[in-house]
Amino acid sequence: MDPRRLVPRTDAVLADPRLREAAARLGRAIVKAAVTSAQQEAREGTIAPSSVADAAFAALPDNATGLRPVVNATGVLLHTNLGRAPLSDAARAAVTTASGCADVEYDLATGRRGPRGAGALAALSAACPAAEAVQVVNNNAAALVLAATALAAGREIVIGRGEMVEIGDGFRLPDLLTSTGARLREVGTTNRTVARDYADAIGPDTGFVLKVHPSNFRIEGFTAETSVNDLAGLGVPVVVDIGSGLLAPDPVLPDEPDAATALSAGAALVTASGDKLLGGPQAGLLLGRRDIVERLRRHPLYRALRVDKLTLAALEATLRGPRPPAVQMLHADVTDVRRRAETLAKDLAATGIDALAIDTAAAVGGGGAPGVELPSAAVSLPAAYESPLRERRVIGRLDSGRLLLDLRSTDPADDATLRTAVRAAREET
Ligand SMILES: *Cc1c(COP(=O)(O)O)cnc(C)c1O
């Protein structure tokens, strides 16, 4: 008899108690799609008709999104393709709280409307006392668009030629800024821009002077850039896009700009990303002079760029809670990272796997500190492990014909996950 006729009908498979429970949790469409694909495998003979329900159940996603958690063992702390900063447990718990109905714009004491996101804004103010006022929008790009629109639409933004940067995936800050109706007045040259260049360009049409941190490249050699301090004396607002989200100086990254320093030097407004070195959710932070921040908040565009309750909750918990993973990884002692790599490599080698611990250089990532090498350690494996480990959602990096699992960018709690994944991957190498 044709085995295809033994393939169970969809209704019969969906009656399996495990799949019924999954349909209640994930929605019927996702479960049905898994059943259809398992039936197809049975028709093609790759699985037995009697295992359709088992195969469908095994193929179900953990949740109703297509997003899958991964271990970032690339050694790039803030990996844009892997979701940038992982949230702290405190921030994850806050997101869960906010995901229901919550008093995001409501005063529980009076029963009246309350200021939206007051907790997150207070936490941001407390974390950066140099700012008179703060606001939060969707991301740093949105912060720049809002500043350009509210302060310079139909007017000029004066910017140094060495700071006309592309942030990634083809997005260029100059295009973003001019899309608001502001005009760019480029000054200086690629490698050198001095205070005089800015002073000569400033006039009645100037909306503001913009300084952008070149956060993903470095120019070396015969270079000059003008300090915020020097620009602040020119009589127009200075907006500083610091990029990474450091609110105060960090000794580990001495060349990375921070909000407190820029504000003390006279910046009227600082913009930054919440999901880079701050280690929080995607957000655009606006910190600066009260009148300017208030002007931005009053602009109609603000309403289109504001953040949702989940972001407000995660940001507040990131600022008030324990150090988030990205900051812990940045500050991890290399001897601890090395010890973890040695333990893991030894465990794997004991079962005959060609694994060794090596010293490596990790990087902060697109989020900042270009060219800075963070001392790190990795488990080095044959390159053939790359694909089977990726199937198990462990992402390393290939280097000189080996696969490196760099441990500075992973949570120490994931070491056991890595061990299990490498052992399972071995069968497929
Ligand atoms: C990352 C970055 C941006 C864009 O920030 P998003 O939060 O991704 O929108 C803008 N400017 C600089 C200097 C950056 O590093």
Tens digit of each residue's pLDDT, the chain (429 residues)? 566 678 999 999 999 999 999 999 999 999 999 999 999 999 999 999 999 999 999 999 989 998 999 999 999 999 999 999 999 999 999 999 999 999 999 999 999 999 999 999 999 999 999 999 999 999 999 999 999 999 999 999 999 999 999 888 788 999 999 999 999 999 999 899 999 999 999 999 999 999 999 888 888 888 998 999 999 999 999 999 999 889 999 999 999 999 999 999 999 999 999 999 999 999 999 999 999 999 999 999 999 999 999 999 999 999 999 999 999 999 999 999 999 999 999 999 999 999 999 999 999 997 678 889 999 999 999 999 999 999 999 999 999 999 999 999 999 999 999 999 999 999 998
Q: Is 273 in the pocket of ligand 1 (CB under 6 A)?
A: yes
Give the three-state DSSP class for 30.
helix
Q: What is the pLDDT of residue 19?
A: 97
Q: Is 394 in the pocket of ligand 1 (CB under 6 A)?
A: no
Tokens of 329: 């990884």
Rounded to the nearest angstrom, the distance between the alpha carbon of 225 and the centre of ligand 1 is 20
Domain annotation covers residue 65: no
In this structure, the answer to whether residues 252 and 386 fall within a common structural domain is no
C-beta separation of 184 from 153 below 8 A: no
Ligand 1 atom 14, closest CA: 243
Tokens of 413: 């709690």
- Classify 93 in phi/psi space as left (phi over 0), alpha (psi -120 to 50) or beta: alpha
Which CATH number fits the domain that encloses residue 405? 3.90.1150.180
C-beta separation of 74 from 361 below 8 A: no
Q: Which atom of ligand 1 is nearest to the CA of 274?
A: 7
Q: Is 140 in the pocket of ligand 1 (CB under 6 A)?
A: yes
- CA-based nearest residue to 242, from 145, 80, 369: 369
The contacts of residue 339 (CB under 8 Å, 6+ apart) are none
Q: Is 257 in the pocket of ligand 1 (CB under 6 A)?
A: no
Domain annotation covers residue 27: yes
Give the total residue count for the chain: 429
Rounded to the nearest angstrom, the distance between the alpha carbon of 273 and the centre of ligand 1 is 6
In this structure, the answer to whether residues 53 and 193 fall within a common structural domain is no
**Enclosing domain of residue 20:** 3-58
Name beta bridge partners: 271: 241, 286
Domain annotation covers residue 400: yes
Q: Is 84 in the pocket of ligand 1 (CB under 6 A)?
A: no
In this structure, the answer to whether residues 315 and 332 fall within a common structural domain is no
Rounded to the nearest angstrom, the distance between the alpha carbon of 141 and the centre of ligand 1 is 6
- Counting beta carbons within 10 angstroms of the beta carbon of residue 1, is it exposed (0 to 12), middle (13 to 18) or buried (19 or more)? exposed
Give the strand pairing for 156-160 and 166-168. Answer: unpaired
In this structure, the answer to whether residues 279 and 139 fall within a common structural domain is yes
Ligand 1 atom 11, closest CA: 243
Q: Is 376 in the pocket of ligand 1 (CB under 6 A)?
A: no
Rounded to the nearest angstrom, the distance between the alpha carbon of 243 and the centre of ligand 1 is 5
In this structure, the answer to whether residues 409 and 276 fall within a common structural domain is no
Which CATH number fits the domain that encloses residue 108? 3.40.640.10
Ligand 1 atom 1, closest CA: 243
At residue 8, φ and ψ (nearest 5 deg) are -65, 150
Q: Is 215 in the pocket of ligand 1 (CB under 6 A)?
A: yes
In this structure, the answer to whether residues 290 and 375 fall within a common structural domain is no
The contacts of residue 175 (CB under 8 Å, 6+ apart) are none
In this structure, the answer to whether residues 378 and 410 fall within a common structural domain is yes
Q: How far apart are CA 390 and CA 396, in angstroms?
A: 8
User: How much is the pTM?
Assistant: 0.94
Rounded to the nearest angstrom, the distance between the alpha carbon of 311 and the centre of ligand 1 is 17
Q: How far apart are CA 386 and CA 390, in angstroms?
A: 6
Ligand 1 atom 6, closest CA: 140
At residue 208, φ and ψ (nearest 5 deg) are -165, 165
**DSSP characters for 38-77?**
HHHHHHHTSS-GGGHHHHHHHH--SSSSS----EE-SSEE
Rounded to the nearest angstrom, the distance between the alpha carbon of 272 and the centre of ligand 1 is 7
In this structure, the answer to whether residues 157 and 240 fall within a common structural domain is yes
C-beta separation of 403 from 74 below 8 A: no
Tokens of 103: 């008093």
Most distant pair of Cα atoms in the chain: their distance: 89
Tokens of 389: 């480990």
In this structure, the answer to whether residues 278 and 368 fall within a common structural domain is no
Q: Which atom of ligand 1 is nearest to the CA of 141?
A: 9
Q: Is 141 in the pocket of ligand 1 (CB under 6 A)?
A: yes
Q: Is 138 in the pocket of ligand 1 (CB under 6 A)?
A: no
Provide the domain count of the chain.
3
Domain annotation covers residue 66: no
Rounded to the nearest angstrom, the distance between the alpha carbon of 366 and the centre of ligand 1 is 9
In this structure, the answer to whether residues 312 and 333 fall within a common structural domain is no
Most informative mutation of 167, 169, 217, 244 for ligand 1 (most atoms within 8 A of CB): 167
C-beta separation of 273 from 245 below 8 A: yes
Domain annotation covers residue 357: yes
DSSP 414: G
In this structure, the answer to whether residues 302 and 239 fall within a common structural domain is yes
Q: Is 167 in the pocket of ligand 1 (CB under 6 A)?
A: yes
From 301, 322, 343, the end of a domain falls on: 322
Q: What is the pLDDT of residue 429?
A: 87
Q: Is 243 in the pocket of ligand 1 (CB under 6 A)?
A: yes
Tokens of 76: 């790039």
C-beta separation of 377 from 407 below 8 A: yes
Domain annotation covers residue 184: yes
Rounded to the nearest angstrom, the distance between the alpha carbon of 320 and the centre of ligand 1 is 23
Using only C-alpha atoms, the chain has a radius of gyration, in whole angstroms, of 26
Q: How far apart are CA 394 and CA 11, in angstroms?
A: 36
Domain annotation covers residue 64: no
Q: How far apart are CA 239 and CA 33, in angstroms?
A: 51
- Counting beta carbons within 10 angstroms of the beta carbon of residue 164, is it exposed (0 to 12), middle (13 to 18) or buried (19 or more)? middle
Q: Which atom of ligand 1 is nearest to the CA of 171?
A: 4
Q: Which atom of ligand 1 is nearest to the CA of 283?
A: 7
Tokens of 74: 């690339």
Domain annotation covers residue 157: yes
**13-15-19 Cα angle (round to 5):** 80
In this structure, the answer to whether residues 45 and 110 fall within a common structural domain is no
Give the CA distances from residue 339 to residues 58, 372, 378, 396, in Å, rounded to whole numbers and listed in that order: 36, 22, 10, 18
- Counting beta carbons within 10 angstroms of the beta carbon of residue 186, is it exposed (0 to 12), middle (13 to 18) or buried (19 or more)? middle
Rounded to the nearest angstrom, the distance between the alpha carbon of 159 and the centre of ligand 1 is 16
C-beta separation of 320 from 124 below 8 A: no
